[in-house]
A = this chain, B = another copy of it.
Amino acid sequence: MISITPVYELPEFQKGMNIGEEIVKNFQLLHNDVVVVTSKVVSKAEGRLVVAPSRSDFEKHVLSESRRVLRQRGDMMIVETHHGFICANAGIDQSNVPEGYIALLPKDSDRSARRIRDQIYAKSGVKVGVIVSDTFGRSWRRGVTDVALGVAGIAAIVDLRGSLDANQRELKVTEVAIADEIASAAELVKGKASRVAVVVVRGVEDSYFRESTVSSELVRVPIEDLFR
């Protein structure tokens, strides 16, 4: 059984705050828990809030966070960020940040995840996986889901290629994006307005815990992308 539990009572994060320490103060973590942290609080702790009072300031930041704009419709630009993520407005948004500010995505969410994992270990001695998550749209299905921007100590992808199915025939392609699935699972206990920024997923298969990064495993490079 897997359980998904929100972490309540966390403070409003400010630049320089230790996210791992605040989580440890508010939740009794166990070995091989997966701690899912909304990128927004990582951005706040890492000083990625910037002043952008006008629409044109916003657009300027979307462009400077992007390698290129893939599509535009009305106010929304679908871009490829410098990280290689395809998302609306470079993941920049204005919800849950002070008036006149916007939150840029963390510069390197894999590194952020490692830092939080190490903070948690330093404060509690517990080894956990950490996922930094955000909410992205998809090309072919309506609605948004939460996905992993960065991971530490937990696989981004579990490669079941070559595993046998129940009839002992070979499975050809089953690379499961478990970090995205865990991020999506965590979203189910977050109300958008309820300030649940951290969720603990407990009971994930032990074999899924290993060193990994989103940038090396989940980001699709343009050359293998049939739809960019």
Query: How many copies of this chain?
Result: 2
Q: How far is the CB of A169 from chain B (nearest CB, A)?
A: 7
Closest to A157 in B: B143
Q: 12 new A-B pairs (CB below 8 Å) besides A98-B167, A139-B140?
A: A1-B4, A2-B189, A3-B3, A4-B185, A73-B226, A139-B139, A141-B177, A142-B175, A142-B219, A143-B175, A180-B184, A181-B185
Query: Is B4 touching A176 in the complex (CB atoms < 8 A)?
Result: no
The answer to whether A42 has its CB under 8 Å from any CB of chain B is no
Classify the interface of chain A: helix, strand, loop or mixed.
Answer: loop
Asked if A189 contacts B143 (CB within 8 A), the reply is: no
Closest partner residue, chain B, to A146 (CB atom): B181
Q: List 8 A-B contacts (CB under 8 A).
A: A1-B4, A95-B166, A95-B169, A141-B147, A142-B219, A145-B176, A160-B192, A171-B192
The residue on B at minimum CB distance from A6 is B1
